Structure 1
Amino acid sequence: MDWNNNENALYILMISPHGLIRGKNMELGRDADTGGQTTYVVELMRALARHREIGQVDLLTRLITDPALSSDYSQPVEDIGNGARILRLPFGPSHYVRKELLWLHLDQLVDRSLHFLRQQGRLPDLIHTHYADAGYVGQQLSQLLGIPQIHTGHSLGRPKQSRLLASGRKKTAIDRQFNFERRITTEEDLLVNVAMVITSTRQEVTEQYGMYHNHASARFVVIPPGTDIARFSPPGRRKINPNVTHMVDKFLSDPAKPMILAICRPAIHKNLKGLIDAYGSSSALQEKANLVIVAGNRDDIRELDEASQKILGELLLDIDRYDLWGKVAIPKHHNAEDVPELYRLAARRRGVFVNPALTEPFGLTLIEAAASGLPFVATEDGGPRDIVANCCNGLLVNPLDPTAIAFALDSALSDKQQWRLWARNGVAGARRHYSWDAHVSKYVKEVRKLLRRDRKRMRRQIAFTMQDGKSPMPLARKALISDIDNTLIGNKKGLQQLVAWLKNHAGSIVFGIATGRSLESAVNVLKNARVPIPNVLITSVGSEINYSYKLQPDIGWANRIAHLWRREALEQVLSDIPGLTLQPAVNQRKFKLSYNVVSEKMPSLHDLYRLLREHRLHARLIYSHDKFLDVLPVRASKGHAIRYLAYKWELPLENFLVVGDSGNDKEMLLGDTLGIVVGNHGMELEQLRGMERIYFARGHQADGILEGLAHYGWRIADH
């Protein structure tokens, strides 16, 4: 990759995993996931790439191999120019699916993204996520890599859920369709964890995000999106594309009438039914204007997804119910280049644009209409308030009141002098308030401030951690993973030398610990021993993985070991076993049950495993020191955790150097890893002596680790 020669130029990674995204001829409205957000992210990417302080912008989305779609979506890399690329990574089904079905596969995208960044050899300066699903992916990448994340919500779960309930939909039905529980939980987490939330309007901050419990925790910055003034402009004297005119007029008995134009996806919250009810109930409005609804593309409604079928089917039934044939146009196909022409056609016929959505975070189509000299009537919910305030070019209505919608449309069409004023105001307001250059200028200014704060934080961080900014995990070549007690600590002088060596190799070598201690206990012991917080902490006998001084949990590991884990059932079955007593709550974890043992009373491990099988329970039993029993998920152990790290971070197992002193460390010492057994080891490890990849040191604790490093040539080769 030929990066910008300016070493201070920023590399921004944007993430938008759902919908159909490509650099040209976007299939807007093809389905509920390919609309304003896809336009926004592509145009933002282009605008950022033009800025002198931006060296590279990548937009990460899903690679789709589907015979029903263009092969464009199966191309791994699409070069947009000026240092901008669309990157497509495969995750989930190979064919196209709606965004609600992708949530189960987002952890796979995290892993694929880490792989890509490692292969590329450069980490971004900033991660910018779009919509909740991208936010989930970006949050994990941000925490794993130590890179700031900013987020744009586009459409928020709580306001949308509230509006759908107000419209009469049943909660169970909409939760099943839109996956609101997962989405809203993620949005709450993002408000706590991201460095900045970009919104389009102040109303989005106060009213929409104000519905969230963690609203006060977030840092909001209002930056209205831009529009492409070169594409969206008044008709003037130019000729309208005759294909677009024919596309509309073939439906209409009197095409010369003014047009009421709606352009949106066939989604329930777009409230097309409310629009039809408003138009169908007003004979005066029908007499005055035609209604043109551009609701995506279709060949056969029966081939669309279930939600789109339902909406378009009901739309046609309502047109028939109100007998609107010849008055309503619903074109079957359009492309991205037709959209500006549709606005201009409506403006030339002295029509009006309408957006009756139940909720509208911003309303990009309203800006496009304004720039095209077309006044609008829009929902009073959300972003349209700011647009009307800035452009003074239309009316706001209650989207749940068809009579109010009809009255506003009639008013906008009736006063010709007002119409002309609104048309002029819209063009001027769009150019003044909604250009991409203005958006990017403020964006870069805010990002620079954010990164300056982050650098100050990193300088403070260096004093007590191995990590001085971005995580070394993606780019490191080797990893040293050590047990704590009687291995890493216990030899003060040797430990000081080891810590100095680790600091000298920070960035190229990952330092981690693997211990039976809880995370909190491990951190306290390390701090007391003056050991900087490692890059990775495997704790609670391998049932937890956390990263760096922030102690960010590895969500992928938690999801992986949750397989077959039934904690409550296990605790109940083991509650009456003689010789087992639950340890205090401080020693219990989500993925670990810990017991004190009276060895002469406890059944054998063989009998305990048989008992679990009888109850169809699955667990790993770790018996240690003749007095402790840990019950873990079958996939959890220190050795498994190390192998998971090797897979996730694409670091070969032979590049892991693992250090232990007791039988609890045996599993992680075996296999393809390199091993060091310190001189003060327990006798139970003697059976490993003589194995090719395990070195038995003479030195105790940290001295033994240093001796092992020299044995494997790490101290020499890495200087």
Structure 2
Amino acid sequence: MRVMALALGGCLTAKPAYGLTEDTGGHITYILGAMRALAAREDVTAAEIVTRLIDDPSLGREYAAPMENVGPKLTITRTDSGNRAYLTKDALAADRPNFTSALLAHLRSRDVLPDLIHAHFADAAEVARAVREEFGIPFIYTAHSLAKDKAAACVQGTDALGLRIALERDAMMAADCIIGSSRDECERQIQDYGPIGPGKVQRIRPGIDQAPASSADIAKARTLIAPFLRQPEKPVILAIARPVRKKNLTALVKAYAQNPVLSAKANLVILPGLRQSIEAGEAEQVAVMRELADLIDRHDLHGRVAYPRQHTQDDVRGLYGLARQLRGVFVNPALIEPFGLTILEAAVHGLPVVATCHGGPVDILSEIEHGLLVDPYDTKKIGFAIERLLSNDALWQALSSNAEAQITQMDWQAYAAAFMDLSRKIVSGNPAAPESVTPTQLLVCDIDNTLTGCREAAARFVRYLAARPDMAFGVATGRSLVEAQRILREWNLPEPAVFITSVGSEIYWQTPGGLHYDSAFNDRISGGWDADVIAGCLADYEFLRPQLPIEQRRFKRSFTCGSQGAELASTLLREAGLPCKTIFSHDKLLDVLPQRAGKADAVRHVARALGIPLGAVIVAGDSGNDLEMLESHKAAIVVANAEPAVLALDHKPHVYVARARYADGVIEGLDALARSAGKCAEMRASAMEQAA
């Protein structure tokens, strides 16, 4: 496959100077990392990055080169729109028609065209849409940073943001697929733009450069900041961000100045992009730099704050390593952070973080567990969080260890594999092959720790299922649809015929035209359900804490609590006469669902829709939110690694408790049930012979 990445903004080269302009930031890292990984794959014949040609000696001559070879099978093509000046994001709009015309003309002259375009930002998506109209080439859209959240944070003029919001909405509607990096982006930010068909938004976690800082990098970083600091041996509070309002760097300086413990115990090091002077650069950059300098001066922070004018990527890596060596902290105080690449970079170096609670860092910290979330609008809380990490050695070490252990999962090769899996379906126009055999059985499995947990076992399950075309396969999970698809893709598990998601409150069917939401099940469970009444009934109880807004669904309200809290919540709802049920799992998660929802009822609904008798349904699971499903169906498999409450079902005659763990346990259970069914068939046949 030939893949083209399209990005109009920023200064893009094989060795970029991050912060050179206000839009030369994280998306450049993303594009280069993704395309390098794609180019390294055997199933990719060519990877090409297309961007604007910029002829501005103050930025660098490399941006005026029409072609740049990055590596085997990977090139950067710079299209000349007729305006060779560097243009800011807002100024790009006027140049876009000319850029589009130039790119179309260039493609017409080619003998071989790309099979797929990956458009980065909405302006590139508009160009990709024009390419698709002429050449039929499908495109994927990645937003990176959405204007609606910026508007909510009031970080830019509303007129410009209004135009961007409209352009982003058009891009989402037009794209063949949308790829996001975080749950927040996929399930909140993008969904805020209006209804988007199920399955169109996919989450693929970006990779990260896993190379740690060398001793030479760290020594160079020390030299970079030494002129600013009186006591350079103190722990470092490190921040790396472009000097724009949304990055909220001034709040970090205020937090440092207002907290006497911090200003006495640690140095503050900020890399606010690249600059020739405080007065050089775009208007927003100059304004932010002036304010930073004024805050440092006003609070007499000279000798304790470093903010060098220039730096290289080696310097950046060295500063992460130095901050780790000095047992410091990395801080991302952005008003809204669409993803949070720097938080991953800190994790590579085992550096604990304090990060904004708005956007992608929520997901990253829940998965890597190497830091604390804070309200970016509260400078006192920012300071207290940093102080907590610097003052608690045990906590600092635990978070550092988590970072080193978990960051390896953020891998560009894994990203490329997932991207190609999606791309093949988009290019073929066949997202799901129709069943060639009418199924006579239905297998519905939980995902986490039932199918996942052991990659070798998961691969054996894939082969097992491929040999059973008579068995329809579905999943029933507590996860959202986006997350269920991501986990199955990351584990190379088969795409199911049906997704039962959000603890059995939503059903999605796989069809040749894509995923279809089951509105009949929606109608079936909606009677008497009022999520606001449920939330109100359980409000103001200290033992119940609502889970994040992203976990709240139309037919699910989710909390965290202990087992006694779950029992009390169930009692409160019952005494209030509310038609609902509670599901408690993993010793801390409480879900409240409509009375007729849940995995058990959802599986029955699916079986009826497929015309499969309930006696031919097999379910498999491991956790508390599988209990009802396992107890209610006539053939159930419990894997050996299940929670104690689930293993306690071993006395029930219809439940098979496997000796094997994870997907091997599912295979073992299926074989045991098949043997049992065979023996029953033999006994029936023998009885019929004797009767004859």
TM-score (norm 2): 0.61
What is the CA–CA distance in structure 2 between the aligned matches of 1:28 and 1:151, rounded to whole Å? 23
Query: What SS class does the counterpart of residue 109 from structure 2 fall into?
Result: helix
What is the CA–CA distance in structure 2 between the aligned matches of 1:131 and 1:302, rounded to whole Å? 29
AA at the equivalent of 1:225: P
Deviations along 1:166-209, whole A, 9 cap, x unmatched?
A: xxx6xxx6135xx2122111111122111110001111122211
Per-residue deviation, 1:306: 1.0
The answer for the alignment partner of 2:377 in structure 1 is: 400
AA at the equivalent of 1:103: A
1:13 maps onto 2:13 in alignment: no
Query: What SS class does the counterpart of residue 451 from structure 1 fall into?
Result: helix
- Residue of 237, 249, 256 corresponding to 1:260: 237
AA at the equivalent of 2:366: A
Contact conserved, 2:236 with 2:329, CA < 8 A, in 1? yes
Query: What SS class does the counterpart of residue 301 from structure 1 fall into?
Result: coil
What is the CA–CA distance in structure 1 between the aligned matches of 2:377 and 2:40, rounded to whole Å? 42
What is the CA–CA distance in structure 1 between the aligned matches of 2:40 and 2:137, rounded to whole Å? 23
The answer for the alignment partner of 1:119 in structure 2 is: 109
Q: How does 1:275-354 map to 2 (within 5 A)?
A: 275-354=252-331
What is the CA–CA distance in structure 2 between the aligned matches of 1:114 and 1:342, rounded to whole Å? 43
Query: What SS class does the counterpart of residue 256 from structure 1 fall into?
Result: coil
Question: Do the aligned partners of residues 215 and 413 (structure 1) sit closer, same or farther apart at CA in structure 2, a change above 3 Å counting?
Answer: farther
What is the CA–CA distance in structure 1 between the aligned matches of 2:351 and 2:91, rounded to whole Å? 37
1:76 maps onto 2:66 in alignment: yes
- Residue of 158, 172, 186 corresponding to 1:175: 158
What is the CA–CA distance in structure 2 between the aligned matches of 1:70 and 1:201, rounded to whole Å? 34
Per-residue deviation, 1:422: 1.2
What is the CA–CA distance in structure 2 between the aligned matches of 1:272 and 1:93, rounded to whole Å? 33
AA at the equivalent of 1:66: D
Query: What SS class does the counterpart of residue 157 from structure 2 fall into?
Result: helix
What is the CA–CA distance in structure 2 between the aligned matches of 1:218 and 1:56, rounded to whole Å? 27
Per-residue deviation, 1:218: 7.1
Per-residue deviation, 1:421: 1.7
AA at the equivalent of 1:270: K
The answer for the alignment partner of 1:583 in structure 2 is: none
Contact conserved, 2:217 with 2:315, CA < 8 A, in 1? no
The answer for the alignment partner of 2:167 in structure 1 is: 186
- Residue of 70, 85, 92 corresponding to 1:95: 85
1:375 maps onto 2:352 in alignment: yes
AA at the equivalent of 2:191: G
What is the CA–CA distance in structure 2 between the aligned matches of 1:401 and 1:207, rounded to whole Å? 23
Question: Do the aligned partners of residues 104 and 92 (structure 1) sit closer, same or farther apart at CA in structure 2, a change above 3 Å counting?
Answer: farther
Q: How many residue pairs end up in the alignment?
A: 433
Per-residue deviation, 1:42: 1.2
What is the CA–CA distance in structure 1 between the aligned matches of 2:295 and 2:83, rounded to whole Å? 36
Per-residue deviation, 1:307: 1.0
The answer for the alignment partner of 1:443 in structure 2 is: 419
Per-residue deviation, 1:242: 3.0
Per-residue deviation, 1:455: 9.3
Q: How does 1:53-72 map to 2 (within 5 A)?
A: 53-72=43-62
The answer for the alignment partner of 1:588 in structure 2 is: none
- Residue of 376, 393, 400 corresponding to 1:423: 400
Contact conserved, 2:213 with 2:318, CA < 8 A, in 1? no
Q: How does 1:534-613 map to 2 (within 5 A)?
A: none
What is the CA–CA distance in structure 1 between the aligned matches of 2:280 and 2:58, rounded to whole Å? 11
1:144 maps onto 2:118 in alignment: no
Percentage identity across paired residues of the two chains: 37
Contact conserved, 2:243 with 2:272, CA < 8 A, in 1? yes
Query: What SS class does the counterpart of residue 117 from structure 1 fall into?
Result: helix
Contact conserved, 1:110 with 1:140, CA < 8 A, in 2? yes
What is the CA–CA distance in structure 1 between the aligned matches of 2:330 and 2:123, rounded to whole Å? 31
Per-residue deviation, 1:52: 1.4
The answer for the alignment partner of 1:522 in structure 2 is: none
Per-residue deviation, 1:20: 0.6
What is the CA–CA distance in structure 1 between the aligned matches of 2:21 and 2:309, rounded to whole Å? 13
Query: What SS class does the counterpart of residue 426 from structure 2 fall into?
Result: helix
AA at the equivalent of 2:328: G
Deviations along 1:283-330, whole A, 9 cap, x unmatched?
A: 111111110000111122222111111000011011111111111100
- Residue of 359, 382, 386 corresponding to 1:409: 386
Per-residue deviation, 1:215: 3.9
AA at the equivalent of 1:273: T
What is the CA–CA distance in structure 2 between the aligned matches of 1:240 and 1:200, rounded to whole Å? 29
Q: How does 1:611-690 map to 2 (within 5 A)?
A: none
The answer for the alignment partner of 2:445 in structure 1 is: none
Per-residue deviation, 1:239: 4.6
Higher-Rg structure is 1
Per-residue deviation, 1:454: 5.2
Question: Do the aligned partners of residues 410 and 141 (structure 1) sit closer, same or farther apart at CA in structure 2, a change above 3 Å counting?
Answer: same
Query: What SS class does the counterpart of residue 228 from structure 1 fall into?
Result: coil
What is the CA–CA distance in structure 2 between the aligned matches of 1:367 and 1:224, rounded to whole Å? 11
Contact conserved, 2:39 with 2:73, CA < 8 A, in 1? yes
Per-residue deviation, 1:337: 2.2
Per-residue deviation, 1:253: 1.2
1:203 maps onto 2:193 in alignment: no
Contact conserved, 1:191 with 1:218, CA < 8 A, in 2? no
Per-residue deviation, 1:12: 0.8
Question: Which structure 2 segments of 5+ residues have no match?
Answer: 434-692
Per-residue deviation, 1:364: 0.6
- Residue of 107, 125, 130 corresponding to 1:135: 125
The answer for the alignment partner of 1:242 in structure 2 is: 219
Contact conserved, 1:31 with 1:308, CA < 8 A, in 2? no
What is the CA–CA distance in structure 2 between the aligned matches of 1:125 and 1:93, rounded to whole Å? 28
- Residue of 326, 329, 340 corresponding to 1:363: 340
Deviations along 1:355-398, whole A, 9 cap, x unmatched?
A: 00011111111111101111111001111111111111000111
TM-score (norm 1): 0.59
Query: What SS class does the counterpart of residue 21 from structure 1 fall into?
Result: coil
Per-residue deviation, 1:453: 2.4
RMSD over aligned Cα atoms: 1.7
What is the CA–CA distance in structure 1 between the aligned matches of 2:303 and 2:432, rounded to whole Å? 66
What is the CA–CA distance in structure 2 between the aligned matches of 1:123 and 1:456, rounded to whole Å? 25
